[in-house]
Amino acid sequence: MLLCVTASHKTASFELLERLSRHPETVAPSLMAAGVQGAVVLATCNRFEAYVEAEEVDSEAVIETVAQATGIPSADLSGSYQVVDDPHVAEHLFSVASGLESVVSGEGEIAGQVRRALSGAREQGTTSPQLERLFQRASQAQRKVKNVTALHRAGRSLVRLSLELADSRIADWSAERVLLVGTGSYAAVTLATLRERGAVDISVYSPSGRAVPFAKKHGIRPVSADDYATVAQRSSLLITCTTTEMVLGPAQFERPAGAAAGCPVPGHSASQLVIDLGMPRNVDPAVAQLEGVALLDLETIRLHAPLEELHATDAARDVVREAAESFHLDGSRQSVTPAVVALRTHIFGLLEAEIDRARRRGDENGMVEQAMRHLAGVLLHTPTTRAHELAAEGRADDFHAALETLYGLSAESGSASDAATA
């Protein structure tokens, strides 16, 4: 059984999402220790989701484990999450992976984040066969949405939207002194989008010390830890997009002592725009109160997110629903596979015994053997087909019961009872 506990920009504040996302790597191992069969955690700037597989899933126990692993009291989580139960988990994840649940419908970054969530679970040893299949199918659904609908062409990424919002403050992108803080996947997307808009004076600083290789790869200037404060103050546009826990406060942006408000300081922009794409939050909201500094953070970006492209979204949701139905149908078929295998093993065991007996009686040309093999195939066709039909209807247990009643076969053991084989 699958279950998802999800907190997103639709249900939770960015402050809570930020707290949940500080140490997501602790959650899946904690869930495994609590007794689930598998766990995958998806933590992004707009959502925190725990996907679990267990024979019996207690949503309250999952939530309590998440609370303990993240250090957030259960009371603080109350009302900020949703529980998606087994029949709807696939459609939910497929929608998330396709960008249908993002701040900006159709944004592309989420697909990579879903893939990395599965990779992280593999590294931690917390995934399971069912979760593997779920997340792999999510990536397949996302690619189909991208290929057969206009959603990704109509949708815009958070990075692109933030820079579009910055257009109202920037007359000439080529004249901006840009400092990029972070070197992850968002930083690469941000850099490419900045260049699309004409920015050329770009530096990069990495709290984790990866500025030099990133700068060399992308042809921009690295900033050392010693020079960071000076470069940050002199930049006209500062964009943070790092998952490293760092918070830039007013002290990093205040003008030097003695400088009159509104008067340019040599080497310092009279008007500085700060874009915070980090999760956890990289910039203290109090920075927005400083004179000469404007702050654009995820919460502000969400308020300016465009209306969904209705036709593209409707088509994408149709693709997602079909993919989820296919996922469940395949899962249902898999649920009766052990029983079908048990039946076939039993029948072919009897067949081989009869063929051996026929050979001993002189079936030298194999005519009897050929006829018996054909008959066995014919006899197995209908129950095999019916098993899959019952599974698709959610009645796999009926097939298991029939197998036990008629043949004394257990799907787990794959063998007949003594009475059936006597």
Q: What is the mean pLDDT of the segment spanning 134-162?
A: 83
Distance from C-alpha of 124 to C-alpha of 119, rounded to nearest angstrom? 9
Residues 6 or more apart from 292 whose CB is under 8 A from it? 255, 261, 262, 269, 270, 271, 272
| Amino acid at residue number 184 | G
- Within 10 A of 241 (CB to CB), how many other CB atoms are there? 26
Place of tokens 């063929």: 355
Cβ density class 83-112: b for 16+ within 10 Å, e for less:
ebeeeebbbbbbbbbbbbbbbbbbbbbbbe
pTM for this model (two decimals): 0.63
pLDDT in tens, 62-76: 999 999 999 999 899
pLDDT-based confidence at 308, cuts 50/70/90? low
pLDDT in tens, 170-228: 989 999 999 999 988 778 889 999 999 999 999 999 988 899 999 999 999 999 999 99
Helix-helix angle 367-392:310-360, to 10 degrees: 150
Q: What is the mean pLDDT of the segment spanning 378-402?
A: 78
- The pLDDT, as a whole number, for residue 260 is 39
Active site members: 45
3-class SS at 168?
Answer: coil
- The pLDDT, as a whole number, for residue 263 is 38
Averaged pLDDT score across all residues of the chain: 84
Question: Rounded to the nearest 5°, which phi and psi values hold at 239?
Answer: -120, 120
Q: Is the pLDDT of residue 28 over 90?
A: yes
Q: What is the mean pLDDT of the segment spanning 143-150?
A: 87
pLDDT-based confidence at 376, cuts 50/70/90? confident
Q: Where are the domains of the chain?
A: 2-154, 158-303, 334-421
- The pLDDT, as a whole number, for residue 415 is 44
Q: Is the pLDDT of residue 231 over 70?
A: yes
Q: Which CATH class is domain 2-154?
A: alpha beta
Q: Is the pLDDT of residue 165 over 50?
A: yes
pLDDT in tens, 75-125: 999 999 999 998 899 999 999 999 898 877 777 789 999 999 999 999 999
- The pLDDT, as a whole number, for residue 268 is 40
Biggest CA–CA distance in the chain, Å, is 112
pLDDT-based confidence at 382, cuts 50/70/90? confident
Return the CATH number of the domain spanning residue range 158-303: 3.40.50.720
pLDDT-based confidence at 292, cuts 50/70/90? confident
